Amino acid sequence: MTEMTKSGITRRSVLAGAAAGAALLAMPSILRAADRSLKVGVYGGYFQESFDEHIFPDFTSATGIEVESISEPTGEAWLVQLSQAARAGQAPADVSMMSQVAILKGQAIDLWAPLDPAKIPNLGNLLPQFVNRYPDGRIAGVGAVAWYITLVTNTDVYPEAPDSWAALWDPANRDRLGLLALVSNSFLLEVTAKTFFGGPAKLDTEEGILEVMDKLAEVKPNVRLWYRDEAQFEQALKSGEIPMGQYYHDVTGLAAADGNPVRSTFPKEGGILDSGSWAVSAASKKTAEAHEFINYMSQPQIQAKLSRNVGTAPTVARSLTDLTDQEFAAVSSEIEPIIPRYDLYQTKSDWLNQKWTELIVAG
């Protein structure tokens, strides 16, 4: 799990409503489901509480499969645990929510049980980018939840919203920006490639990546903070101390709804769309139940329910959901998104981190 995903847990905490229902174990549906069960790994804290309260009980009622909710550790530690357990024939969780880089790393060691599309009729509801495949076409994962990073501004300092990521390069914004600190969680290479080089194909070669980094390095005079602590940037954005940057769309919207002078803008090049996917351990003995779970989660009404209760963007087309304009705008956009090049963070991780440090954040 990436650091950004870990941060997402904290992010989602501001969306928290009531605590997880303490009476879940007393529900008759769960008692009836004792003969069929499934261990599902989700990010801990608020995220897990939300699934425990809003999702798992209804899944059990609908299918008769009892869910044991497993709290995943942060970073890629869960991937390591799953792989070590799989070698011993064990599955700490049958289904896990995994970051995109973790999905790719798991594919490299055949950690994920291939999914049978015939057993997931709702697979066709998902947008294409939310189906993870092995190089040979087998399905390794299915989109679980998604979220956006957008261009954010303080409305007192910027009465008019910028409409392009190019605003980050505007000399008028010198010493005014807050940007995520890591190459692997800011996705600024993809933003730069889309804004100035026609799209992500520019990142196909190391020569192209270095050209993109050279262009991105031009924003350095404008950057006041390369942030790892989201709360630090959020507070500076609210106060106007750092009035522009990149941040999470849903949280910015909540801050605006609370009366803070902030806005989130989907630039014409698109917001950055990151996501987590469901994957099934190859060591799991519950593949039938796992397919039922993934099929259930791929229903438009369940994705809409997640948007309302967890604050995530749907992995299905908006037209399939019953989300109102306001509900959809709170978590997503119909502007074509910028999709991170997760493959790069798997295959070129060390090189990218080295160049990122040398060319972007140093000096």
Gap between the Cα atoms of 47 and 147, Å rounded: 13
Structure-token match 């994705």, residue found = 303
Residue 152 has pLDDT above 70, yes or no: yes
Q: Report strand pairing: 131-133 vs 177-180.
A: unpaired
Whole-number Cα distances in Å, 12 to 77, 133, 181, 244, 339 = 21, 28, 20, 22, 21
Q: How many C-beta neighbours within 10 Å does residue 260 have?
A: 18
| Per-residue confidence (pLDDT) for residue 170, from 0 to 100 | 98
Token readout for 135 is 């190089």
pLDDT at 363: 66
Rounded distance between C-alpha atoms, residue 59 and residue 302, angstroms? 10
Above 60 in pLDDT, residue 229?
A: yes
pLDDT band at 21 (very low <50, low <70, confident <90, very high): very low
Q: Which residues are CB-contacts of 311 (< 8 A; sequence separation ≥ 6)?
A: 12, 15, 147, 250, 330, 331
Q: What's the token pair of residue 70?
A: 């497993």
Q: What is the pLDDT of residue 75?
A: 67
Strands 139-154 and 244-248, by their bridges, are antiparallel
Mean pLDDT of the region 206-233: 95
Q: What is the pLDDT of residue 34?
A: 52
- pTM of the full structure: 0.82
Tens of pLDDT, residue by residue over 283-339, are 999 999 999 999 999 999 999 999 998 889 999 999 999 999 999 999 999 999 999
How many percent of the chain have pLDDT more than 90? 80
Model confidence pLDDT, tens digit, residues 237-286? 999 999 999 999 988 988 898 899 999 999 999 999 999 999 999 999 99
Q: Which of 335, 110, 160, 153 is nearest to 245 (CA)?
A: 153
Instruction: Find where tokens 């959020």 sit.
Output: 234
The four Cα atoms 190, 192, 197, 200 give a dihedral, to 10 degrees, of 0
Average pLDDT, the chain: 89
Q: What percent of the chain has pLDDT over 70?
A: 90
C-alpha to C-alpha distance for 328 and 325, rounded to whole angstroms = 5
Give me the pLDDT at residue 231, please. Answer: 85
For residue 12, pLDDT beyond 60 = no
**Token pair of 119 as six digits:** 């057993």
Longest dimension (CA), the chain: 65
In angstroms, the CA 87 to CA 99 distance is 21
192 vs 12, residue with greater confidence:
192
pLDDT at 4 over 60: no
**pLDDT at residue 16, rounded to an integer:** 34
> Is the model more confident about 10 or about 17?
10
Mean pLDDT confidence for 95-114:
95
Residue 10 has pLDDT above 60, yes or no: no
The pair of structure tokens assigned to 211 is: 């050209």
